[in-house]
Amino acid sequence: METLQRSEKIIAERYRILGKLGQGGVGITYAAVDLNSNQKVALKALSLRLTTEWKKIELFEREAKTLSGLNHPGIPHYIDYFQVDTSQDRCFYIAQQLAPGKSLAQLIENGWKPSEDQVRHIAYQLLEILAYLQSLLPPAIHRDIKPQNIILQKNGRVFLVDFGAVQNTYHHTVTGGSTVVGTYGYMAPEQFRGKAVLSTDLYGLGTTLLFLLTQKFPSDLPREKLKVKFRELVSISTEFADWLEKITEPAIEDRFHSAKDALSALRGEQPRGINPDKMFQRSPQARITLIDTKRWLLIKIHPDRSPSKLKWFFQFIHLSYKFLLPFSLILGFFLFSLGEYTTTYWLSILSLQFFLISILAITTFTLFYALIWLCRCLCWTDYRQFTRPIQIRPQDIQRVKLRGIHLPLLKKSITFCGIRAKPRNYCFGLFLPQAEKEWLVGELNDCLSKLK
């Protein structure tokens, strides 16, 4: 960006440019000084006049929005997002904490040759950062893990920078995507199809670690059916080599599913009582577990300790009917014993109250069972499928989609997951958050696409 290439230029009367740090796919990053705090910051800039694609502006704004919601010691702190208009241009800026140190790419270029222990230590820290990103709702996928975007301090601390390619998981899962974002050599194969899942960042991490160990770009390493062949080029333990081989598997289903899984495996941890041949997928809120045993697909929905508004509604009616009436009777007899009102008056009040509560309870439960009946008509399923565990063969699944029902009394629509299968159909997840329903439908549709 030619308007910011001069050092000592002051932006927005607050940031003084010190020099250029680097240039990525979306914007140029400069080192600057915050005149208000006298602290060094990283100032990422994007020129509207020099931008040839509107997609870059969208990615830039998405990066600012994502950074504003992140809080992790391995991610430089977000400071500000603003724009500056001139007579010839409009420039967008993201101000962020300047991560001290050098990128892994710079260190290798300067002749650094890390040991296996050092590479493991870097892997631990990056996996913890990725696990944090994947724990967000919705999970965030960096999509551009590479040596240039990883800063290493002298004390061994690691920072992950440049979130210009960050992707929202649910947006991709539900609506699909076609934008290819990433860096050749470090991109997972699915990124070439515009797809990004949780394990996409793991592939970028694995190829980055191979770059540190082999001192060669991943694109220059030998491959066989897209699989990187690196064992003869490195001198590391068999255990670590096996781990690297799994994290760089070209097929999504063969890779670790999440950063937590990869971190546990790197630490040598094995979940108790779990068959390693089975694949477990947990929803972002850890309320749903998908267990793929190759023969059966098990869907387990864990109890919700924070009921939705709809569940609170039904619970309120139940508690009112169960406790409010006895309390009213006791209070009425107590006041009657004081002699302030006649017996006829209190009997009338209590009868009216009992009648109103009964009508309310009967109406509520009638509506609830009418809703279940409607779901049964729409999905050709049994009402018990809302609560009972589901065990189904993947090859029997024909269609998975979100279904919705509009409730005029509640002035809202509720959705649930529907599976059309042989010989029966299922509907479930009525009280799950909308984001988890979308995640579950996306994961089940991925299973269908793999079978096809």
Q: Is 144 part of the annotated catalytic residue set? A: yes
Give residue 322's identity as a one-letter amino acid code.
K
pLDDT digits (tens, 9 = 90+) for 230-249: 999 999 999 999 999 999 99
Which among 13, 87, 82 has a CA at the least distance from the CA of 44? 82
CB atoms near residue 214 (< 10 Å): 15
Over residues 157-197, the pLDDT tens digits come to 999 998 877 765 333 333 334 455 667 889 898 888 888 88
Q: Show the 3-state SS of the chain.
A: CHHHCCCCCEECCCEEEEEEEEECCCCEEEEEEECCCCEEEEEEEEECCCCCCHHHHHHHHHHHHHHHCCCCCCCCCEEEEEEEECCCCEEEEEEEECCCCEEHHHHHHCCCCCCHHHHHHHHHHHHHHHHHHHHCCCCEECCCCCHHHEEECCCCCEEECCCCCCEEHHHHHHHCCCCCCCCCCCCCHHHHHCCCCHHHHHHHHHHHHHHHHHCCCHHHCCEECCEECCHHHCCCCHHHHHHHHHHCCCCHHHCCCCHHHHHHHHCCCCCCCCCCCCEEEECCCCCEEEEECCCCEEEEECCCCCCCHHHHHHHHHHHHHHHHHHHHHHHHHHHHHHCCCCHHHHHHHHHHHHHHHHHHHHHHHHHHHHHHHHHHHHHCCCHHHHCCCEEECHHHEEEEEEEEEEECCCCEEEEEEEEEECCCEEEECCCCCHHHHHHHHHHHHHHHHHHC
Using CA atoms, how far residue 51 sits from 4, 54, 66, in Å, is 15, 7, 21
Q: Stretch 102-129: mean pLDDT, rounded? A: 95
Tell me the chain's radius of gyration from C-alpha atoms.
29
Is residue 393 very low, low, confident or very high in pLDDT (cuts 50, 70, 90)? confident
pLDDT at 379 over 50: no
- Listed in order, the ranges of the chain carrying CATH 1.10.510.10 are 102-269
Q: Which of 144, 261, 292, 446 is catalytic?
A: 144
Fold (topology level) of 102-269: Transferase(Phosphotransferase); domain 1 (1.10.510)
| Beta carbons of 298 and 428 less than 8 angstroms apart | no
| Single-letter amino acid, residue 274 | I
Residue 305 pLDDT class (50, 70, 90 cuts): very low
What is the reported pLDDT for 158? Answer: 96
The CATH code of domain 2-97 reads 3.30.200.20
pTM summary value: 0.58
- Per the CB < 8 A criterion, the answer to whether 233 and 223 are in contact is no
Give pLDDT, residue 440: 78
Q: Is the predicted pLDDT of residue 288 greater than 70, yes or no? A: no
CATH 3.30.200.20 residue ranges of the chain are 2-97
Please give the pLDDT value at position 89: 85
pLDDT-derived band at 327, boundaries 50, 70, 90: low
Calpha distance 402→268 (Å, rounded): 39
Given a cut of 90, whether residue 383 has pLDDT beyond it is no
